[in-house]
Amino acid sequence: MGYPPYHPIHPIIEAAGGITEVVVTSESENTGNRPRRNWHPGVRARLLLAFLGITTFAVMASGVGIFSFREVGRHLDIIDSRIPPTLSAFELSRSAERIISAAPTLLAATDPIRQELAKAEIATAMAGLQRELDGLKDEDAEHLPVGNIEELVNSLLANLGILKELVSHRLEANGRINSLRENAFQVGKEIRRLLAPWLLVVGSQIDMLVDTAAAGGDDTDGKIPTLASLIATRQLLRSAQIEVSTVMNMLSEAAAASEQRRLPVLTLQLGLALRKLEEMVKEFDPKLRSLFLLQLKKLQGHIEGTDTIADARSRELTLIGQGDRLLAETRALSEKLTVAIDQLGIVAKLEIGDAISDVLSVQQRSTRTLLLAVALSLLTSILIVWRYVGGNIVGRLTQLSSATLAIAAGRLDTEVAVEGSDEISAMARAIEILRRNTLERDEFETANRYKSRFLASASHDLRQPISALTLFVAQLHNESEPEERSRLITRIDTAVSAMNKLFQALLDMSKIDAGALEPNFGKFPIAPLLSRMESTFAQIAGNKGVRLRAVPSSVWVNSDTILLERILLNLVSNAVRNTTHGGIVIGCRRRGEKLRVDVCDSGPGIAPEHLQSIFQEHVQLEPTIPGAHDGLGLGLAIVDRLSRLLDHKIEIASSVGKGSRFSIFVPIAAAEAGSMTAAASPPGITDPVQGKYIAVIDDDALVLSGIGGILQSWGSEVITAESAEQAVAALSLHAQKPHLIISDYRLKNERTGIETINTLRNAFGDAIPAFLISGDTSPEVTNDAQEHNFQLLHKPVSPLRLRALINRLLKPDSMSG
């Protein structure tokens, strides 16, 4: 079997009219005189002959079918003449049903918008009803009972017109009720506002007299009558408050009364309540009496007279009763219309049924004839396909398909058989060339994959030491003590050294993929490695509220120190990333001749079905905490690859909701003289947020809980409130001025955060540092904050930006200014 010379673009394939001509260039091809070859039909010619034979018998079957369809069509014309009246009858019925269903909605409308919507729905249904009725009269429907239907439709339309007017009057009455009720409630509010200050004054006077009596003053007996008078006054004011509330409740009941007979009772009770209030007011202070009588007179206008809430509700109930009666009459007309339409449908169905019987008779005769012609056509088609198509074309295509599927499945060593000189052979040659091209492409992709894995690994593993390095540099900027700065510089140097080692380890990782990395085994103490883990991650974990500790160990092990450190770095960083509370412990246990190095955390844990998949590349489980997927999913995959290379067993123990333990078993080695001891844990870092009182004001409970919770996790004392008044009260209880104020821009009662901050500053007499947060990103809010010299953070606020701004505002120089 010979193949043309290999070239990425070797075959020139042209498709024209379903014929594929393949021209293959070859150096051995002779363009001189050639002997003439006999004509061999190609794929197109063979298929054309087969389809021609099949088509001949299909045309015969079609002729029989056309004749049958013509006979059926002639009888269907009869049915077609009967169907439009029937459909019109059904549409009449549906339009009537829509009108009846919309009428209660119109009657129940409580505002002009709903009234107009119900009117529009009824108008549409009425137009459809009239249109169907006109169409039914225009059609050839003299034999159908249409006259009675038209009379019922006209009556139904007249009733609906009256119903619309009733609904308009009812809405006017309802609007008057709402207006009167709002005015009455406003008077009630004014009365309560009038009584409240007097109650406060009388209460404070009572408290003062009681305190004086308790202290044992000289004139205690003489103040007892005054105290009794004040208590009686307070009781009278409270009774007046209760009576006003009773009047308001009875007015609300009158506005919503469902029965006419209840309204006179309520009117009588309201009058009695007014008389009672008039009697009470006589004992009021003269100043209060005049103001109270003025409001009582306003309230009396809504209870007695010709334009009261009870009268307006009575008119509305009368209109509702008229509407219900009219609706019942409309339903009766609809039922009569439905009966008439049903009779029309029955007559039309009987006529259609007779026509259908004739069609079925013709269809049965035609079906038998057509089946005979189709069976003959099918039999001849099977013979042609079996002899001419299946024997040659399908068999070769099946072989080509099997080879193609094998190549698609990745078995590129499967060669494609090339036989003959027709189009299928040309296709086989093209696929064989593509197979060779794919083999070469895969070699390039393998090399590119090694490069991609190297870059992904570098991105994943360098984040941890760089993060630690960034934190140390930030501390160095704020540290003035030479001894502390020296310690930080030492730790920065350690982090840089760790990064250099990681660069070398990443290069070795690329060698793992290429099979060229050889571990450098040696004996070394495990203590310095554990100390470096604690030094690198303690502060990162601490910033999340998680305590990280490495338990010292004096054991020596036999391993590759760089690769083992690489494994532990990935395990510890994974624990820090997925743990939000509790702690992380790095420790060792002897297990025979092995040392089990454990990384234990109190994170969310791993379900048993995921314990194996987490070691695959780019596999990350569904996150249970924010930020848990800040990586490429390579950390544990690198751990697995390196542990296999070092022949160190990896073990996992995890419980969902409780935490996980990742362990690596390392061979124990004999200790040598001069072993290193574990480094001490780094001292704590001064936090400007620690111990500060921070007031957070927002009218959203979730936002208060979120911001308050994260500030408390940073060590702050947090006072949360929904307004400036609440914040002042809470801070007064603590007898503490806040160090910082955080307020939402938009608060309740149309107040802004700027007003709230100024209120707190005035209350404490100091320009307390403050900033705003808001979910409103409009330019107006931003400009307002800038004009008042306030920093503004837009929601959602990330913890990083929140912490940065708080730290900046709580700096000593910021707080002093």
The predicted structure's pLDDT at residue 45: 66
C-beta contacts of 167-175 below 8 A and 24+ residues apart: 167/106, 167/107, 167/109, 167/115, 167/118, 167/323, 168/115, 169/319, 170/316, 170/319, 170/320, 170/323, 171/109, 171/110, 171/111, 171/112, 171/115, 173/312, 173/313, 173/315, 173/316, 173/319, 174/110, 174/316
Instruction: Give the DSSP letter of residue 625.
Output: S
Considering the domain boundaries, does residue 699 fall inside one? yes
pLDDT reported for residue 625 = 53
Per-residue buried b or exposed e for 300-319, using 16+ beta carbons within 10 Å of the residue's own CB: bebbeeeebbbbbbbbbbeb
Q: Is a pLDDT exceeding 50 seen at residue 390?
A: yes
Averaged confidence pLDDT in the chain: 75
- Reduced to 3 states (helix: H, G, I; strand: E, B; else coil), residue 38 is coil
Q: How many CB atoms are closer than 10 A to CB 617?
A: 15
Alpha-carbon distances of 651 from 522, 598, 615, 618, 621, rounded to whole Å: 23, 9, 12, 20, 18
Domain count, the chain: 3
Q: Look at residue 479 and tell me whether its pLDDT is greater than 80.
A: no
Which of 316, 345, 378 terminates a domain? The answer is 316
Q: Is residue 525 part of a domain?
A: yes
Q: Over the range 582-591, which residues count as b (16 or more CB within 10 Å of their CB) and which as e? A: ebbbbebeee
* 126 sits in which H/E element: helix 112-138
Q: Are residues 297 and 260 in the same domain?
A: yes
The pLDDT-based confidence of 16 (bands split at 50, 70, 90) is very low
Quick one: pLDDT band at residue 11, thresholds 50, 70, 90? very low
Tokens matching residue 680: 């001490």
- Between 139 and 778, whose confidence is greater? 778
Q: Residue 698: pLDDT above 50?
A: yes
The pLDDT value given to residue 383? 73
Burial label for 163, CB within 10 Å (0-12, 13-18, 19+), is buried
CA dihedral sign of residues 614, 616, 622, 625: positive
Residues 203 and 311 in one domain: yes
Q: Which of 561, 562, 535, 566 is nearest to 549 (CA)?
A: 535
One-letter amino acid identity for 500? Answer: N
Domain assignment present for 687: no
Does the pLDDT at position 56 exceed 80?
no
Q: Do both 789 and 655 map to the same domain? A: no
Considering Cα of 589, then 591, then 594, then 600, what sign does the dihedral take?
negative
Instruction: Give the torsion through C-alpha atoms of 301, 303, 307, 313, to 10 deg.
Output: 150
Q: Are residues 172 and 311 both part of a single domain?
A: yes
Residue 32 confidence (pLDDT):
45
Does a structural domain hold residue 389? no
Q: Has residue 337 been placed in a domain? A: no
> Is residue 386 one of the residues assigned to a domain?
no
Look at residue 126 in the predicted model and tell me its pLDDT.
72
CATH of the domain at 560: 3.30.565.10
Which residue in this structure is represented by tokens 């997925």? 578
Query: Helices (H) and strands (E) in the chain — how many of each?
Result: 20, 14
Task: Using pLDDT thresholds of 50, 70 and 90, give the confidence band for residue 762.
Answer: very high
Same domain as 198, residue 287:
yes
Q: Give the Cα separation of 107 and 121 in Å (integer).
A: 13
Reduce the DSSP state of residue 770 to 3 states and report it.
strand
Q: For residues 159 and 18, which has the higher predicted lDDT (pLDDT)? A: 159
Same domain for 719 and 637: no
Task: Give the CATH number, domain containing residue 737.
Answer: 3.40.50.2300
Domain that holds residue 801: 693-816
> Does 44 score more than 70 pLDDT?
no
- Whole-angstrom distance, CA of residue 101 vs CA of residue 103: 6
Q: Nearest-CA neighbor of 200 among 223, 234, 236, 243?
A: 234
Confidence label for 694 from pLDDT (cuts 50, 70 and 90)? very high
Do 649 and 721 belong together in one domain?
no
| Rounded distance between C-alpha atoms, residue 803 and residue 101, angstroms | 61
Asked if residues 802 and 710 have their Cβ atoms less than 8 Å apart, the reply is yes
pLDDT of residue 684 exceeding 50: no
Q: What is the pLDDT of residues 256-295, one digit of tens each?
A: 777 888 878 887 888 788 888 878 888 887 888 788 888 7
Pair (756, 615) in one structural domain? no
Show which of 316, 334, 365 is a domain's final residue: 316
Q: Which amino acid is at 592?
A: G
How far apart (Å, rounded) are the C-alpha atoms in residues 800 and 806? 10
Q: How far apart are CA 518 and CA 512, in angstroms?
A: 8
- Identity of the highest mean pLDDT range in 9-13, 22-26, 105-109, 140-144: 105-109
Write down which residue in 281, 297, 316 finishes a domain: 316
- Rounded to 5°, the CA angle 92-93-94 comes to 95
Q: Over the stretch 58-71, which tens digit does the pLDDT of each residue have? A: 777 777 778 777 77
Looking at the domain assignment, is residue 151 inside a domain? no
pLDDT band of residue 142 (cuts 50, 70, 90) is low
- pLDDT given for residue 143 in this prediction: 54
Tell whether pTM > 0.75.
no
367 or 544, higher pLDDT: 544
Say if residue 527 is in the same domain as residue 658.
Answer: yes
Residue 504 has pLDDT above 60, yes or no: no
Residues 622 and 724 in one domain: no
Neighbours of 545 (CB within 10 A): 16
Cα separation of 735 and 726, whole Å?
A: 14
On whether residue 716 sits in a domain, the answer given is yes
Tens digits of residue pLDDT in 562-580: 889 889 988 998 899 889 8
**Residues 524 and 665 both lie in one domain:** yes
Listed residue (467, 167, 448, 160) closest to 320, CA to CA: 167
Does residue 368 register a pLDDT over 70? yes
Q: Tokens in use for 236?
A: 């009278």
Write down the pLDDT at residue 675.
Answer: 45
Q: Are residues 710 and 785 in the same domain?
A: yes
What lies within 8 Å, CB to CB, of 494 at 6+ separation is 532, 535
- pLDDT cut 90: percent of the chain above it: 13
